[in-house]
Structure 1
Amino acid sequence: MSIFSPEPAASTDPFQLERLAEELASRESSRPETSPVDLPVYTPLSHQNPFLSAENFDVEQFLLSRSYTSLQDLRTELRDYMATLKEALVKLINDDYEAFISLSTDLKGEGERLTNLIAPLDLLKLEISTSQAELRAIQEEIMRKLETRATIREEKALLHLLLKISESVTRLESLLSISNPGQEGEEDHADYELFKTSSAPTSDSNDEKSVQISLNPVFVPYFGRSPANTAKHINRVAVEYTQLFYHASKARSENCAFIDEIQWKIDRIQSSISSDLDAFFASTLSAITAEAKLSELEKSKIIPDLTECLRTYDILGLWRDAEEILRAEIMRSFIKKTVFMGALSAPHSPLLPRTPSIASSFPNPNTSYSMPPRTPFTPFTAFSAQQSAFPSALGQSKSSFSRTLDDSDDLLAKLYIQILRFVERDLSSIMEIADKVSIKSRTSASISGYLQSDVKKEDSGFDIMANVIWNEVGTAIMGDLGNVVFAAGRPDEFRKNYELTQAFIRSLELLAPSPQAIESMRAHPVYSIFGKRWQLPVYFQMRWKEIVGKVEEALALPLESSRKINVDGMDTLLTPQAAAVWVALTACWSAEIYIPELSHKFWRLTLQLLSRYRGWLNDIIQQNSYSASVASAPGKNSETSAGTSTPLPERSSLDAFSADESLLHKYVLLIADIEILKSSTMMLWEEEISIMLPDMEDYEEDDYALNPQKILESTVLATTALIAPMSKMIISILTERCIGPLNTVNKMRTDLRGRKQLPTEPQPWVSSILRPLKSFFGISGSDGIGAILKDDHLQDWGGQVFENVCDKYCYHVTALRKAEEYLQKLQKGKKSTATFSLFGSAPSKDDEGKDEERIRVQLILDVHALGKDAETLNIKPMETQTFLALSKLVQRSLSESSEPA
């Protein structure tokens, strides 16, 4: 057992390192975790350093990358790196030195060997050049032989082509029975000169040409055939000719002299084909017309021949030739028989109703004018290009245009009906067949395109409606009937003829086989010239003078003010001026005057007429303006001050009354006419103008600058705005008449002085206050001046007059209060100075109070009676501010302050 006692635990760790370590660990664990600090990493210089291995060494970037190294240390490091590089270089040289030495030893004797190799190269080069020259010569020889063979092949093909042309010419001459007696060049030349002489154009007319065509001797062999075989034969010849023409075109592009030599034969063949086709087509047309007198079955058998002829014309591209034959054989002869200079010279039928003239429809200044019933005008509508079916214009389902012609007994309408019947009977089937042939040829590519290569696309195909029918009809009408149809200087006849002609053109368009035919007809020069012959601006100028002249004559008349007004005639215009304007407005859109192409001009004239009427009304108002003192009637004031009211001037002379009566009469007439004209104009817009104006759906409702309805409404509103100054003048005159009895209020004290009892009834003059207003509106039993305006203006005008009367009443009551107050002050002053009365005692205070009470009760009764009387005029007194102020004013005693509540 040790003699030493064991040491405590602290003696083994005198510095308490374990405790300190534990505390440090606990503190470290209690700290928040933070990102470790990146310390700079020392990288020694090497070949992998990016700054040293870069293509362009950047000193600044290299120094910045070694910023943590001092310059002395960097210099030392660079020197060490340079020594490393030198050592690596020496090592590399030592490693490859043995191979370098052996290379120089191995190259000994190679120079002689290279010299021996160069010697045979010149010989090889010479041999190669020789071989190349020989090959080039062989290639050129082969190319020459190939070109010669190609030329021979082309010449052979051309010879075959010329043989085909020769065979086609021979075949066609055989098919056409063309004799060819000689084969020598001189005989051919003589035949060619004979052909040129016989085919030279002459100055004969078209009729003579048609006769020559029908008697062509070349066509004689065909008469032995049946029509069907003849049509097929001609079609076969045409197909053969198209092949000949195609082959000749190809040969001509090769500049073959053979084609120039036989060109006269090709021309002779073409002339023969055309002549034969024209003759057969003319005979076919003659067979299907009404003059041939064939049955429908026989005509139906000829239709295939006609179709074959038109198909042949289409193959050859001779559309205009076919149309010329059609014009000469059918259309021109009919036009000459139908449309001539004396066709419309017969007198008109007595049953034909005369077109009413606008001059006879203007008003008489001495009569009243009721609105005439309007006949809606049906404008011309454009033909729909999308219409698939083309109904007959003369069938059971007639169009509106043909019905217009049928319903008229005019000679021009009968002439148009005759033309339409002829076109439908003799030409409609031909047009349909030609249109089908043209459509089929456009959709199918054929060899005939070579024949049509020099023809414009828009000129290809048949166009019978434009070039045959309309060309003849339009030219004949303009040439023979122009003075009668276009009726220059006769507007009524012009309008009638224009309507009939437009109906005829639209009916003619309904007979067209397709919309394209209608477009071609409208694009035809004759159609354009025909449209210009209708001098629509001249027609409008004549109508303008006629309409405006009558309106100006009516506006120059004095305004009628002595004629009695018809109270029941609410749709009656009361003045000749308004009636003239209305007749002018309806005339612009009437069926006897309106023309759709002039819609914009008539629309502008309508607005001008309304503006002119507004200007005339404004002049009337300015001429009859009331004097400034009379016109300044008291205005509306909810809090009327009795002390500040100003009395209206009095006008009691007989002349002033007569002038006011005349002015009232004039203004009533004008206001009634303005309101009737406003409603009638807007009704005219809804029923007629909006339908006649074109493209109404293109205008937006909010577009005031372009919307015709908004423009018309603003023009009408500008006219109705003139009612306000006239209404103000009427209210001023009626107010002056109604306030006359109020002057009796100032004499009320004198009238009530001898009475001992309180009044129980209103004074008699109270019932006469509103009597002029009742008399004006005809409420008192007799017809008043403003009775026609009672329904529209009684409440408005009566209310304003009643307010003015109440305002004037307040003025008189206030004046009465001031007079009573002054008398009371005067009597009090006398009592204070006088001690006794020589002739008796002065009036007592009780008597004065009774007089005041009698006046107040009388005023209350009078005002209450005035309110009751106003209720008979549909006026609500308790809703009138001036009447309420008047009632409060009379309720107070006379001893109170004169200021109103």
Structure 2
Amino acid sequence: MQDLQSPPPPSPTPSPHPRSTTDLFGDPSDPNPPQWLNPSLFQSQNFDPQSYISDLRTFVPLQTLRTELKTHFTSLQHDLIELINRDYADFVSLSTNLIDVDSSVVRMRAPLLEIREKLGSFRESLIGCLCLLQERLKQRDEAGEAREVLELLLDTFHVVSKVEKLIKELPNCVPSNGGQDDRESRESQSMLLERIASEMNRLKFYISHAKNMPFIENMEKRIMNVSSLLDASLGNCLVDGLENKDVNAIYNCLRAYAAIDNTKNAEETFRLSVVGPLIRKVIPENAASGVVSGSSGNELEEDYVKIKKYIEEDCKFLLDISSIENSGLHVSSFLANSILKEVHSAIQKGKPVVFSPGRPSVFLKNYKASLDFLAHLEGYCPSRAEVVKFRSEAAYVDFMKQWNVGVYFSLRFQEIAGALDSALSVGGLVPVASDKRKPQDLILKQSVSLLECLRSCWRDDVLVLSCSDKFLRLSLQLISRFSSWLSAGLAARKATDNVGSNTGFEWAVSAVPDDLVYIVHDLNRLVEEVCGDYLEHILELLKSCPAEVCDFVKQSILQGGTSLKGHLPIVMSAIIDTIVEKSAEDLRQLKGITATYRMTNKPLPVRHSPYVSGVLRPLKEFLEGERAATCLTNEMRNELLQGAVLEITQRYNDLVSELVSMSRRTESSLQKLRLGAQRRAGASSDVSDHNLSDTDKICMQLFLDIQEYARSLSLLGLDAASLPPYQSLWQCVAPAERQNTISF
């Protein structure tokens, strides 16, 4: 076959449009076929259309191939028509050369019809044979199924008979003197029971494949009898083995229970015969009152200690047997369904009150003791998978449901949050007794209550780790509650115009600066404690949690500390405002200076006014007070001093500027009136430039006052010349020759 990839031989007639070496599909306007279409291959004897198309489709789209083939077909038709038209006479003469065509067709049709009849009869014969063969195959399948069912029924009958025979042999294996320990007889009996159990397992398999058959239904009574006899014999043998701690007999009995998929009976037998009597020694029942007699009240810690001891001495041997590797006994769960179930039942009957969260402290103590007991039981699990299986057992889940930690948290929430609300509802700021307080301790009872409530959330006798997210939220809510109480009180303090509306915030309205100092001190201590030791204690408790959880807790606590610290500037501002208001009362005496020198003949003043010494007295007394000295840091004292002095000096400047401006306006008006009167009287209007006006005297008095004020500031450690309000004050009242130099 010619290579399809090679281009066709060159045409003797050159193409009107030469093709490039990369032109594979050809030009649509080009009448010549593309290079990849070689019509000469169609005339080859071994031409295969499918292989031809499969070779071309790797580099030519099928749509393009279809188009080119249609174009080539159309070209062939045109060539055929042209050829007929050119040799039309020869084409017409073909019919004259065909002689006796009909007779030839008849001769060829006869053998063809004969062959068709033979093929039809042969086909019918084959179809008949095929149907007969299928029918026989179907009968064989039905016979095979019937045989299988018959064999299954026979096997079932034989197994039932065998089990009945083996069960009848059981009494021969029981020791004649049952009160004595006959280990060999007990072992042989357990081995026989294991054999019977394996046969019963086969019987269950057969029955599951032969349901609803009359034969099986007729044998149902016999099957139930052998099953009940086997259960009773297994129970007796297991109890006998448990009483004598016969490891081999117990092992064989447990394997028998596992074989018949009835481990629940084994667990129940162990619970009733061994675990139950032991637990009742620790937690006896009192059906009349439901109260334990001769036990340790309503606490479980001592009871669990005794139970652990009994488990180690009397139950561990069975737990070791059930955990033997490759024994097939892993399907049983004696820890959950025998030991824990019996303990749970004994507590419910003997000490039901321990599950009640009504007494949170006792409830938490018992709950933690129970968790420790469960952890002790998990220690008997040979692998992590067994621990997971133990925790998923219904007995474990039911036991954990008895401990309603949600209700416990609700009670703790009311207790802790109620304690803080009670402390914040007091009408005033209440300091702690000084004889019980250390210098680094909190001062106000409200702050002490907040810190105690925060610590209560994470105390060992309060915290439940499974509810740590709720206790974290409670801690943040306590901080938020204290912050809201503080911010609302300070807001009410500013709204002094409507005191009656400040119900509940009388502490803030009536608080003096010395009281607010206590708040500043406590806020600093709270922030230091919350972001320090308190946070470290929480992270230590949650160290077993993932790192991202600990990071979230840390960020939350730090954010709470930041919210507390954000109130410090507000409290400091409230202290400054109170001090400034007290100083402003002395500054109001400035109005008396105008009355002293207006329309009087008093000489030029030579000393400062008495009120000046009282302007800074409230600030000085506050800073020299015991509370400010002991409760404020040097940095805070300087901040209060700077803020208060700036506010007082600004008030001083505003009052002086207003007084001087008003005095000058008044003097200007009087001067105009005086000049008008002199003109009407005909007197000379010449006024001596050496006479001092009332405004000059007032400004001189104010000048002397601000100098004394500056000296008072220097005693507090401040340079008045560096204060912008004082500079403005100096420019307002200083004589012209001293405007550029501030000295006092």
TM-score category of the 2 structures, normalised to the smaller one: 0.5 to 0.7
Distance 1:504-1:741 versus aligned 2 partners, 3 A rule: farther
Q: What does residue 642 of structure 2 align with?
A: 799
Whole-angstrom distance in 1 between the partners of 2:561 and 2:591 = 47
After TM superposition, give the deviation of residue 323 of structure 1 in Å: 1.1
Distance 1:819-1:149 versus aligned 2 partners, 3 A rule: closer
TM-score (norm 1): 0.56
After TM superposition, give the deviation of residue 882 of structure 1 in Å: 1.7
Instruction: Verify the 8 A CA contact 2:535 2:557 in the aligned structure 1.
Output: no
Q: What does residue 242 of structure 2 align with?
A: 285
- AA paired with 1:473? V
Instruction: Verify the 8 A CA contact 2:720 2:726 in the aligned structure 1.
Output: yes
Q: What does residue 251 of structure 2 align with?
A: 307
After TM superposition, give the deviation of residue 416 of structure 1 in Å: 1.0
Distance 1:626-1:735 versus aligned 2 partners, 3 A rule: farther
Instruction: Verify the 8 A CA contact 2:430 2:446 in the aligned structure 1.
Output: no
Q: Does 1:101 align with 2:93?
A: no
Q: What does residue 636 of structure 1 align with?
A: none
After TM superposition, give the deviation of residue 334 of structure 1 in Å: 1.4
After TM superposition, give the deviation of residue 475 of structure 1 in Å: 1.7
After TM superposition, give the deviation of residue 796 of structure 1 in Å: 2.2
Q: 2:87 aligns with which of 87, 92, 95?
A: 92
Q: 2:575 aligns with which of 718, 727, 734?
A: 727
Q: Does 1:587 align with 2:469?
A: no
Could you tell me which runs of 5 or more consecutive residues in structure 2 were left unpaired when the two chains were aligned: 1-15, 18-28, 34-78, 177-181, 499-507, 679-686
After TM superposition, give the deviation of residue 870 of structure 1 in Å: 3.4
SS in 2 for 1:415: helix
- AA paired with 1:803? L
- AA paired with 1:870? L
After TM superposition, give the deviation of residue 427 of structure 1 in Å: 3.2
SS in 2 for 1:572: coil
Instruction: Verify the 8 A CA contact 1:776 1:787 in the aligned structure 2.
Output: no
Q: What does residue 337 of structure 2 align with?
A: 467
TM-score (norm 2): 0.66
Distance 1:622-1:564 versus aligned 2 partners, 3 A rule: farther
Q: Does 1:413 align with 2:301?
A: yes
Q: Does 1:326 align with 2:214?
A: no
Whole-angstrom distance in 2 between the partners of 1:266 and 1:605 = 63
After TM superposition, give the deviation of residue 429 of structure 1 in Å: 4.8
After TM superposition, give the deviation of residue 535 of structure 1 in Å: 4.5
Whole-angstrom distance in 1 between the partners of 2:129 and 2:433 = 127
Whole-angstrom distance in 2 between the partners of 1:890 and 1:317 = 109
- For residues 434-457 of structure 1, give each alpha carbon's deviation from its aligned partner in whole angstroms, at most 9, with x where no partner exists: 3556x7759xxxxxxxxxxxxxxx
- After superposition, where does 1:352-751 map in structure 2 within 5 Å? 412-435=300-323, 441=328, 461-483=331-353, 485-487=354-356, 489-536=358-405, 538-559=407-428, 571-599=440-468, 602-603=471-472, 605-614=474-483, 616-617=485-486, 620-621=489-490, 663-683=512-532, 686-689=535-538, 708-709=556-557, 712-713=560-561, 716=564, 720=568, 722-723=570-571, 726-736=574-584, 739=587
Identity %: 21
Instruction: Verify the 8 A CA contact 1:731 1:800 in the aligned structure 2.
Output: no
Instruction: Verify the 8 A CA contact 2:523 2:565 in the aligned structure 1.
Output: no
Q: Tell which has more relative contact order, 1 or 2 (C-alpha 8 A, sep 6+).
A: 1
Q: What does residue 353 of structure 1 align with?
A: none
Whole-angstrom distance in 2 between the partners of 1:491 and 1:267 = 52
Distance 1:95-1:228 versus aligned 2 partners, 3 A rule: same
Q: 1:777 aligns with which of 607, 610, 623?
A: 623
Whole-angstrom distance in 1 between the partners of 2:418 and 2:535 = 27
Could you tell me which runs of 5 or more consecutive residues in structure 1 were left unpaired when the two chains were aligned: 1-37, 40-48, 54-83, 179-215, 289-301, 350-409, 443-459, 630-658, 834-842
Q: What does residue 788 of structure 1 align with?
A: 631
- AA paired with 2:243? S
- For residues 189-209 of structure 1, give each alpha carbon's deviation from its aligned partner in whole angstroms, at most 9, with x where no partner exists: xxxxxxxxxxxxxxxxxxxxx
After TM superposition, give the deviation of residue 695 of structure 1 in Å: 7.0
Whole-angstrom distance in 1 between the partners of 2:437 and 2:716 = 20
Instruction: Verify the 8 A CA contact 2:520 2:572 in the aligned structure 1.
Output: no
Distance 1:146-1:542 versus aligned 2 partners, 3 A rule: closer
Aligned length: 636
After TM superposition, give the deviation of residue 726 of structure 1 in Å: 2.1
Whole-angstrom distance in 2 between the partners of 1:620 and 1:586 = 25
Q: What does residue 736 of structure 2 align with?
A: 893
After TM superposition, give the deviation of residue 415 of structure 1 in Å: 0.1
Instruction: Verify the 8 A CA contact 1:278 1:322 in the aligned structure 2.
Output: yes
Whole-angstrom distance in 1 between the partners of 2:383 and 2:732 = 90
- AA paired with 2:303? L
Distance 1:418-1:532 versus aligned 2 partners, 3 A rule: same
Instruction: Verify the 8 A CA contact 2:523 2:568 in the aligned structure 1.
Output: yes
- AA paired with 1:494? F
After TM superposition, give the deviation of residue 417 of structure 1 in Å: 1.2
SS in 2 for 1:573: coil
- AA paired with 1:770? L
Q: 1:220 aligns with which of 170, 174, 180?
A: 174
Distance 1:764-1:162 versus aligned 2 partners, 3 A rule: closer
- AA paired with 2:621? S
Instruction: Verify the 8 A CA contact 1:231 1:308 in the aligned structure 2.
Output: yes
Whole-angstrom distance in 1 between the partners of 2:266 and 2:432 = 76
After TM superposition, give the deviation of residue 697 of structure 1 in Å: 5.6
Distance 1:561-1:111 versus aligned 2 partners, 3 A rule: closer
- AA paired with 1:663? V
Give the RMSD, CA atoms, in angstroms: 5.7
Whole-angstrom distance in 2 between the partners of 1:489 and 1:419 = 26
